[in-house]
Amino acid sequence: EKMQELCKDMPGVSVEFDGHVPHIGVVKTGCQGICELGPLMRIEPLHYQYVKVQMDDCEEIFKRTVLNKEPVERLFYKKGEDSFPTPDDIPFIAKQTRITLENCGRFDAESLDEYIASGGYNALSKAIFDMSPRDVIEEVDKSGLRGRGGGGFPTGKKWKQVAAHTDVKEHYVVCNGDEGDPGAFMDGSVMEGDPYRLIEGMTIAAYAVNAQDGYIYVRAEYPLSVERLTHAIAQAEEKGLLGDNILGTDFCFHMHINRGAGAFVCGEGSALTASIEGDRGMPRVKPPRTVDQGLWAKPTVLNNVETFANVPGIVMKGADWFRTIGTEGSPGTKTFSITGSIENTGLIEVPMGTTLREMIYDIGGGIKGGGEFKAVQIGGPSGGCLTAEHLDVGLDFDSVKKYDAIMGSGGLVVMDENTCMVEVARFFMSFTQRESCGKCVPCREGTKRMLEILERIVDGKGVIEDLDTLEELAAMVKNMALCGLGKSAPLPVISTLKTFRNEYEEHILDHK
């Protein structure tokens, strides 16, 4: 706002850049991912990336850089020998492979023209004019894209199952933008930073499965996502890219936004569709599956933001291109939010199969203050802990499962040697217990009993037999809970008990 004010206060200023006289102004982008170095400011077309910009710096930036093309040395990440690093020279960015985050932080998140100028909507045009719906599904299937919301179910297979319901007229496409994991902000960053990519991906999905309506279910705490998506939908409708007769054809697709109300369980598919229908967001017994009877009991494609954001690239560049990135079983990239005891917290996108060591040390800059790595919580509150012995394991959907963890939507909370793992397990259990919808007994009662025991142990009032009870309860909840929230709620306890049992014992025995 300060920069905007400065630009406005100097009307008639024209500065020549390489023979052009550009418009001088301020553009609000989405998240660039480097939280630790914010507030950030890019100066284009000079490719200057200023970091940790303060209000007092604005006047100097305007006078020296905007008007005279001079660098403000102290605001660069690190000055090189004879040059200043561009945004892509910062190791945090340079070591990533960005597909879904490609435009985030680079473009005006409210300009459809900018999205189109960068190749946006070419994929939709290709799908509609050069491919049949079946071709699109085949390409997505061939790419091996798996749902990025956590389950890793093959996206092409899901679309095929919905498209197969040719006897039902109404089909729906629903996007899960509920992202409720503490510390996770990947999907929010795509919705805020590049809403057009998500909308294009959903529109391609609608074309493929013959859906007429689409819904984006946005987390209650993401007002900017709602604002930018609303704006992007209106612009797309105006340009004939959404709504009736898309690109002059008889393909019609209308999009709607639903705001969540802050319930973590609404990230579960059947609870999410119930919430859109206006009912209480509670999971139901499956089958019927969402692909057969989802929203309003009609065949429904339900994917998360990141999954849809991958679709335009796959349609445009092809399944073979997508398969050159990532691993055989999990092609493509994965976005992660890295938080906790790490030097560079932020948002990253890396090929599937990237090791924790690369993420934490090469991109994340290592443990805060040079500390020692102890563990990372992966997959949100109901994920699991990976430890030093897993630092060199390539992470993908299948590899993490072997260690009693899940990929989840991609939240990584890094912990150093000073972290008490029993406290970590208690913290995550208190979260899932609070968010349990209460519909089924194993989750409603089981998580409560587990939390009571964990609190007792943390308070120094536990007994050694509690550990066996915890294990029994964890197995019971994991096997008998109705939905994914309950089934995965005990994972932090299971994985910490397995690797850090000594810490549980110390809590108990030290207070004897």
The least distance separating ligand SF4 from the CB of residue 155, rounded to whole angstroms, comes to 24
* Residue selected from 457, 482, 491, 494 as contacting ligand SF4 according to rule CB under 6 A: 482
Asked if 311 touches ligand SF4 (CB under 6 A), the answer is no
Counting contacts by CB under 6 A, is residue 283 touching ligand SF4?
Answer: yes
Query: Least distance (Å) from ligand SF4 to the CB of residue 418?
Result: 32
Q: Using the rule CB under 6 A, is 444 a contact of ligand SF4?
A: yes
Q: What are phi and psi of 361, to 5 degrees?
A: -95, -50
Least distance CB 483 / ligand SF4 (angstroms):
3
Indicate the residue whose CB is closest to ligand SF4. Answer: 486
Our finding on whether 481 is near ligand SF4 (CB under 6 A) is yes
Q: Could you say which of 6, 338, 440, 508 contacts ligand SF4 (CB under 6 A)?
A: 440
Question: How many whole angstroms separate alpha carbon 351 and alpha carbon 332?
Answer: 6
Measured from the CB of residue 489, what is the shortest distance to ligand SF4 in angstroms?
7
- In angstroms, the Cα distances linking 339 to 117, 170, 381 are 34, 42, 13
| Cβ proximity to ligand SF4, 8 vs 434, nearer residue | 434
Select from 98-106, 180-188, 255-263, 432-440 the region that touches ligand SF4 (CB under 6 A): 432-440
Which residue number, 80 or 438, has a Cβ lying nearer to ligand SF4? 438
Rule CB under 6 A: is residue 437 a binding residue for ligand SF4? yes
Considering the complex, state which of residue 289 and residue 357 has its C-beta at the smaller distance from ligand SF4: 289
Indicate the residue among 116 and 480 with the shorter CB distance to ligand SF4: 480
d(C-alpha 152, C-alpha 258), whole Å: 24
Among 443, 450, 473, 508, binds ligand SF4 (CB under 6 A): 443
- Cβ(86)–Cβ(75) below 8 Å: no
Which residue stretch of 112-120, 272-280, 361-369, 480-488 sits at the interface with ligand SF4 (rule: CB under 6 A)?
480-488
Closest distance to ligand SF4 from the beta carbon of 477 (Å): 8
Judged on CB neighbours under 10 Å (0-12, 13-18, 19+), 11 is: exposed
For the chain, give percent helix, strand, coil, nearest 5: 45, 15, 40
Please spell the DSSP secondary structure of 289-342, one letter per residue.
PHHHH-GGGS-EEEEEHHHHHHHHHHHHH-HHHHHTSB-SSSBSEEEEEEEESB
192-215 b/e with 16+ CB inside 10 Å = b?
bbbbbbbbbbbbbbbbbbbbebbb
Which range in 75-83, 246-254, 308-316, 478-486 contacts ligand SF4 by CB under 6 A?
A: 478-486
- Cβ-based neighbours of 1, under 8 Å, separated by 6 or more: none
As measured in angstroms, the least distance from the Cβ of 410 to ligand SF4 is 21
* Phi-psi region at 259: left, alpha or beta (left = phi > 0; alpha = psi -120 to 50): beta
Residue carrying structure tokens 């509920």: 178
In whole angstroms, how close is the CB of 310 to ligand SF4 at the nearest point? 28
- Binding ligand SF4 (rule: CB under 6 A), the pick from 485, 491, 494, 508 is 485
Q: Please tell me whether residue 265 binds ligand SF4 under the rule CB under 6 A.
A: yes
Q: Count the alpha carbons within 13 Å of 188 in the hemisphere toward its beta carbon.
A: 21
- What's the burial of 501, exposed, middle or buried (CB within 10 Å: 0-12/13-18/19+)? middle
Binding site for ligand SF4 (CB under 6 A): 265, 283, 436-440, 443-444, 481-483, 485-486
